[in-house]
Amino acid sequence: MTVERQEFRDAMARLGAAVNVLTSDGPAGRSGCTASAVCSVTDDPPTLLLCLNRSSENNASFKTNGVVCINTLAHGHEELSATFASRKFDMAARFAAGEWTTLHTGAPILVGASVSFDCTISQSVEVGTHTVFFCEVQAIQQGPADQGLIYFARQYHRLGASAEG
């Protein structure tokens, strides 16, 4: 029995995930996109993985630059997420939509992100249509912890800390 592509995609839409803007800078220039396929691998050394379509223009630049920042968005960043997800905006327009700084690697860090993980790419593995990047965390910048943004059922949903704690 084989699971059809659309059935798998529809099922994955029911798996809520944090919304991230992935950014990079280096020899291949600045690049960035929106992704939800990010998760922790290990805390020793601190490592995350991210999955990126091999046809994405960002895939080659991430590999060439060897660095990536995983900027986890807070609510209020829905428009920024949509800008980085859209192919109608070039890189200059995408980055003009936010305020940026850098930490250790030189990858753009989003000011006001819930958390930003500044990483070097330690390994990449090709799996089907995607590349799985293993990213060793070099620095972390934490932002507001009371406001999150997830993507579920093909829509943004805001998360907020309960006042009752």
pTM for the whole structure: 0.91
Annotated domain spans of the chain: 25-68+77-140
Q: What is the pLDDT, as a whole number, of residue 165?
A: 45
Question: Higher model confidence: residue 141 or residue 57?
Answer: 141
Nearest residue to 110 (alpha-carbon basis) of 120, 95, 96, 99: 99
DSSP string, 124-146: EEEETTEEEEEEEEEEEEE--SS
pLDDT over 90 at 16, yes or no: no
pLDDT tens per residue, range 38-77 = 999 999 999 999 999 999 989 999 999 999 999 999 989 9
Question: Higher model confidence: residue 62 or residue 148?
Answer: 62
Partners of residue 117 on adjacent β-strands: 70, 140
End-to-end CA distance of the chain: 46
> Percent of the chain, pLDDT > 90?
75
Angle at CA of residue 147, ends 142 and 149, nearest 5°: 100
Q: Are 133 and 62 in contact (CB under 8 A)?
A: yes
pLDDT over 70 at 163, yes or no: no
Could you tell me the two tokens for 35? 């992704």
Confidence of residue 162 (pLDDT cuts 50, 70, 90): low
Q: Which CATH number fits domain 25-68+77-140: 3.90.420.10, 2.30.110.10, 3.40.190.80, 3.40.50.740?
A: 2.30.110.10
pLDDT tens per residue, range 75-119 = 899 999 999 999 889 999 999 999 999 999 999 999 999 999 999
